[in-house]
Chain A
Amino acid sequence: MSDSVPLTTDHPGQVASATPPAPGRSRRLSDRGLAVAFISPALLLLLAMSVFPLLWALYLSFTDYSATRGGPAHFVWFENYTAILTSAQVHLRALTTLIYVVGAVALQTVLGFSIAYLISRRTHGRGLLTTLFLVPMMLSQVVVGLFWKFMLDAQFGVINSMLGSLGLGQVEWLTRQRTALISLIVVDTWQWTPFIMLIALAGLTAVPKYLYEAASIDRASEWFRFRTITLPLVWPLLLIAVLFRAIEAFRLFDLVYILTSGGPGVSTETLSFHVYKVAFLGFNTGTASAYGILMVLVVIVLTQLYLRYLNKLKED
């Protein structure tokens, strides 16, 4: 039984591939040549600019090389890795990063989805509203960081000024340990809520209307409709957006660099920022490389997750 089935499916394929005459085969060969000629330049560039540097970093991560001291690099094997993985400093940065990623992405998801849901229920002005909401996302992190730094300034910042006129106390947003991380999360949320909103909106507008009509014929409650129709249909796409944001948030550097420079103390030092300090201020290139490779491993795991979900979404 199990033998005969593949045989029968194989046969037509073989016949079909045998029928094209000689010219067809030569054309296919030139197709292959064309494919190689078209793809290899792009791949070569990526190999030279992404893969080769990472391999170099991998090599350096096993050495005690320092970019400023120069001299030959000595192999220290896994010393850098054990040093990083057992360092209390690194654990603290990992915790900061985790709080930041989870806090920012959760806020963005809730807010972004809510805005998308509200917009999707409007019949007029949808395009204009969407466009307006998308503005923060298109700005450079530098502009966003600088501008919020100005707005959150303890003395002449507009946020404190507004709080003042409401009769509330002044807050040292960026110079207090606890509020600095919150400020970072708020600014990131401000910039990237539109991202979640945009993708959630794409999902929401793709939900077929007849499902809602069927539900309203059955007189299903609003909450029931949301829970059984809207959410299951939008969820896969939303998950993609969330994972994408999580990867981006994990890599975040620009905003920290501009807004707080990791301070006050080390309260807003994310892993990215710490790598930078080790590499460019401490000049421990070997240690920084090992640190970086560990971060790349995390990103690879997250990216694999992301791509797997993406693949699933595309196949449906």
Chain B
Amino acid sequence: MAVSVDEAVSTGPVRDHTSPARRFGGRGRSVLEIALLTVLAVVMLFPVLWMIETSIKENRDVYAIPAKFFDFTVTLDHFKDVFVASGGRSSLSGSFLNSFVVAGVSTVLATVLGVPAAWAYSRFAVKAKKDQLFFILSTRFMPPVVVVIPIFLMYRQFGLIDTKLGLILIYTAFNVPFTIWMMKGFVDEVPAEYEDAAMLDGYTRLQAFWRFTLPLLLPGIAATAVFALIFSWNEFVFAIFLTSSDDVRTAPPAIAGLIGGTTVDWGLVAAASVVFALPVLVFAYLVRKHLVAGVTLGAVRR
């Protein structure tokens, strides 16, 4: 007791001395921190802004040396080129449509397979549940370049090479582990007592799931589906090895194909990239609350 009083008394004046200094130091530090954050934000965002800028620049300005940051001529020609070719629809627009179909269908399939499984894992005493769940997640970590070798041979056997069905199947298989892990978290948050109560009222377990739990899970399902959609939409390795024709090819390999020739139309690449990335950014913004869980494949939840 005496010691603490002594301490307080003896340090009292010292504290008075440091307090204003510290407060000033705090303010100076705060300014420094904000400046640092601003610089970092500019560095992180500059490539994105530069991409958008390039997509609306005239070709002359795209290749200007030194680079033109502000005084360039604005044009929407590159965006027009993404969708319209001289003959009619461009092949790029076709690949966007393919991406849309493949990502959409595989997401729906992954959701239909994954949500019931997640519910079952959450509610029932499944044998070696933890091991099963870990096995499921670890399939997602396999290097795509390795998996694609046997998949390629398998697809060749079944005639699935260069088909949308083939891509849809592999994307579904890649999204099911994510869907199960992500959805299990959401199902765990819905009390099992709701179903118990419904079953006391005479519903079967299945009806209880369908009528009471599923509606509560809808926001979670939507968020999970959005992530699965983004993963399939962005996927490149399987797409480039398992497809070749314009009718099947999705957008990522098609955009990457733009730099194959001797001259590269960077304006077109930029415009195609913007068109490709914009929906992802919008969707990611919609599910920003679940980003931590989403980007860790449902493993980390906060």
Contact = CB atoms under 8 A, between A and B. Distances in A.
Interface of A: 27, 30-32, 34-35, 38-39, 41-43, 45-46, 48-54, 56-57, 60, 67, 111, 115, 118-119, 121-122, 129, 131-143, 145-151, 155-156, 158, 161-162, 164-165, 190, 193-195, 198-199, 202-203, 206, 237, 240-241, 244, 247, 250-251, 253-254, 257-258, 272-273, 275-276, 279-280, 285, 288-289, 291-293, 295-296, 299-300, 302-303, 307, 310-311, 313
Nearest to A192: B295
A183 to B, nearest CB: 13
Chain B binding surface, main DSSP class: helix
A67 B237 CA distance: 19
B48 A129 contact: no
B269 interface: yes
A137 B284 CA distance: 10
B214 interface: no
Nearest to A280: B241
Nearest to B284: A138
Contact of A146 (B63, B176, B206, B259): B259
Given A118-B36, A292-B147, 5 more contacts: A39-B132, A46-B139, A57-B149, A143-B255, A150-B270
B149 A292 contact: yes
A148 B130 CA distance: 41
Nearest to B50: A158
B277 A140 contact: yes
A316 B288 CA distance: 26
Contacts, number: 260
Interface string B45-74: 101101100100000001111110000000
Nearest to A202: B302
A51 to B, nearest CB: 7
B121 interface: yes
Interface residues of B, number: 92
B3 interface: no
Contacts of A206: 302
A54 B173 contact: no
A292 B143 contact: yes
Interface in B209-232: 230
5 contacts: A34-B205, A35-B124, A52-B154, A133-B41, A138-B284
A129 B45 CA distance: 11
